[in-house]
Amino acid sequence: MSTPGLPPAGTTNGRLFAVGLGPGDPELITLKAARLLREADVVAYFSGPRGTSIARSIAADHLREDVTEELLRYPVTTGESAHAGGYYAEIDAFYDDCAARLRTHLDTGCTVVVLAEGDPLFFGSYMYLHDRLAADFPTEIVPGVTSVSGATAAVATGLCRHEDVLTVLPGTLPVPELAWRLAQTEAAVILKLGRTFPGVREALRQAGRLDDAFYVERATFAEQRVLPVAEVDAGTVPYFSTIVVTGGDRRADSAGRWTANAVVGADPSRRPQAVSSGTAATCSTGRLRVIGLGPGPTDWLTAEAATALAEVTDVFGYAPYVDRVPQRPGLTRHPSGNTVEVDRARAALDAAIAGGDVAVVSGGDAGVFGMASAVFEAAEDPAYAGVEIEVLPGVSAAQAVAARAGAPLGADFCVLSLSDRLKPWTVIADRLRKAAEADLVIAVYNPRSRSRPTQLADAQQVLLEVRAPETVVIIGRDIGRAEESLTVTTLGDFDPESVDMKCLVIIGASGTRVTPSRRVWTPRFVD
């Protein structure tokens, strides 16, 4: 990467500047930006297909009459393109052409200033020129007031307070993802509206944030407009408009100042007070349901679980599982990372004590290596004695893989996890050996991960001490999803390196059989 300053001695290379102009009001141009505009040999700016540049109009009073101007006119501004490679291929070719035009000026020693509305590196077109030119020429970025700052100033309401999280979102995201992200943050700014506005408004409604959202059009211009999003005529919304979603004044930090907001949202009625372990409840206790979502497909979700998820106010769980619960008005989703099951359970119990109708979700069946046990573990604390806990079953991963294979669980079987996070490997190996000696079909969960790369191979060796190498083995990967695969092999031949945490492995009994069509079943009787 080049550094700001003059070209090296003996070269004719010019200098490249990206100059942020602010969101619209020319008085928001910085002193440095104004100076560079006056000194530039070449000024370049982007425009839509019509050739009108907002950035150029903001900078107009600072440009010399003899300055060379380069209009970089987009061939298209939406995803519709006649180019053989599609929209992005056409845009890449456009940026290549723009960079070549500016390179011609830079090679002759000119100072080239590229104008950027707002800030050059904040959703700015300049970035794509930077990728193509900055390694070859001395380059400097001059920051500008962003559209976020301009729109927030127009709303004139506090955006983020205390520990509020601010999320900046493009309105071009799919509605479900946009709704999910809006539900997870206290404050948000949404850009890139125009034809996306109806979808953005629907996402705000689904996330329960519509009443907190303000629409800003032409921020900092004389004709600036600010309206509640619910009152905006979708047919009048230009692309360069902004939505500001004000924060909920969340107060939770590492200094121990958490006093409110177990549930995110600007409506105080949706913010039950958080209750720590050992603290008496401050309002009527809600309930908590632990729900198994099944292995993946929505049609494997039970009707009981679907009804419950349509009723609850809050959903807690490992992020990929929470993501499977559709966002809707009145629902707050609380995703968290892996290996924090008891902390997650306590947070859900706190929300229930505060009066919420809470769900904790797991993939498969919540009672099979899922969150149900963690919830009951956390609920041993007397502070949670008043919480009603209900467990709703789901299709387990073992059932799903077995069904795809045929009927390998048709006789006595057991379920084991190879994870040694909560129990030592010696216990796991002993249980595997005893299950093999009892001639049980064994469904193996958590078979192999990056942190446990050798245990499945170790388990294979333990089983081979008891079981014949011809014992049937089934490996199910991503069962129920578009990329699912099922492999039928034997204990002696299967390769542990081919298995990861997306897999479930079933080890057959001595009587487990494979049909000519590769269907696997275990007889109900013993020969």
Judged by DSSP in three states, 474 sits in: strand
pLDDT at position 253 is 63
Is pLDDT at 4 greater than 70 in this prediction? Answer: no
Reported as type and span, the H/E element at residue 191 is: strand 187-191
Per-state percent for the chain, helix, strand, coil, to nearest 5: 30, 25, 45
**No. of H helices and E strands in the chain?**
14, 23
* Arithmetic mean of pLDDT, 203-228: 91
Is pLDDT at 266 greater than 60 in this prediction? Answer: no
pLDDT at position 8 is 44
Question: Which tens digit of pLDDT belongs to each residue from 395-439?
Answer: 999 999 999 999 999 999 999 999 998 999 999 999 999 999 999
Question: Which tens digit of pLDDT belongs to each residue from 340-395?
Answer: 899 999 999 999 999 999 999 999 999 999 999 999 999 999 999 999 999 999 99
* Arithmetic mean of pLDDT, 144-159: 94
Judged by DSSP in three states, 108 sits in: coil
Is pLDDT at 455 greater than 90 in this prediction? Answer: yes
pLDDT at position 248 is 77
Query: What does the block give as tokens for 98?
Result: 């723009």
**Neighbour-count burial of 259, counting CB atoms closer than 10 A to its CB (0-12 exposed, 13-18 middle, 19+ buried):** exposed
Query: What does the block give as tokens for 108?
Result: 């002759």
Judged by DSSP in three states, 310 sits in: helix
118 vs 252 pLDDT, higher one = 118
pLDDT at position 257 is 54
| Residue linked to tokens 């490679």 | 85
pLDDT at position 245 is 95
Rounded Cα gap, residues 43 and 4, in angstroms: 18
CA distances for 386 relative to 63, 405, 494, angstroms: 71, 44, 50
Using 50, 70 and 90 to split pLDDT, how confident is the model at 284?
low
pLDDT at position 495 is 95
Rounded Cα gap, residues 381 and 405, in angstroms: 42
pLDDT at position 139 is 96
> Measuring CA to CA, which residue among 116, 132, 120, 105 is closest to residue 41?
105
pLDDT at position 79 is 63
154 vs 211 pLDDT, higher one = 154
Percent of the chain scoring above 70 in pLDDT: 91
CA distances for 265 relative to 84, 181, 300, 323, angstroms: 46, 13, 32, 19
Question: Which tens digit of pLDDT belongs to each residue from 42-56?
Answer: 999 999 888 889 999
Rounded Cα gap, residues 161 and 139, in angstroms: 36
* Arithmetic mean of pLDDT, 217-235: 93
> Measuring CA to CA, which residue among 250, 27, 19, 18 is closest to residue 153?
27
Lowest mean pLDDT among 3-12, 227-236, 368-377: 3-12
Judged by DSSP in three states, 498 sits in: helix
Using 50, 70 and 90 to split pLDDT, how confident is the model at 276?
very low
pLDDT at position 181 is 87
| Residue linked to tokens 């014949």 | 468
Q: Look over the chain and give the mean of its residue pLDDT values, rounded to a whole number.
A: 89
**How many C-beta atoms surround the C-beta of residue 34 within 10 A?**
16
Rounded Cα gap, residues 98 and 115, in angstroms: 13
Is pLDDT at 72 greater than 50 in this prediction? Answer: yes
For residues 449, 455, 457 and 458, what is the CA-based torsion angle, rounded to 10 degrees? Answer: 180
Question: Which tens digit of pLDDT belongs to each residue from 475-519?
Answer: 999 999 889 999 999 999 999 999 998 999 999 999 999 999 999
pLDDT at position 339 is 75
pLDDT at position 471 is 97
Is pLDDT at 277 greater than 80 in this prediction? Answer: no
* Arithmetic mean of pLDDT, 440-463: 94
Rounded Cα gap, residues 81 and 108, in angstroms: 35
| C-beta separation of 521 from 410 below 8 A | yes
CA distances for 474 relative to 431, 471, 485, angstroms: 20, 10, 11
Radius of gyration (C-alpha) of the chain in whole angstroms: 30
The structural domains of the chain, ordered by start, are 15-145 (3.40.1010.10), 149-245 (3.30.950.10), 272-392 (3.40.1010.10), 398-521 (3.30.950.10)
* Arithmetic mean of pLDDT, 255-277: 39
| Overall residue count recorded for the chain in this entry | 527
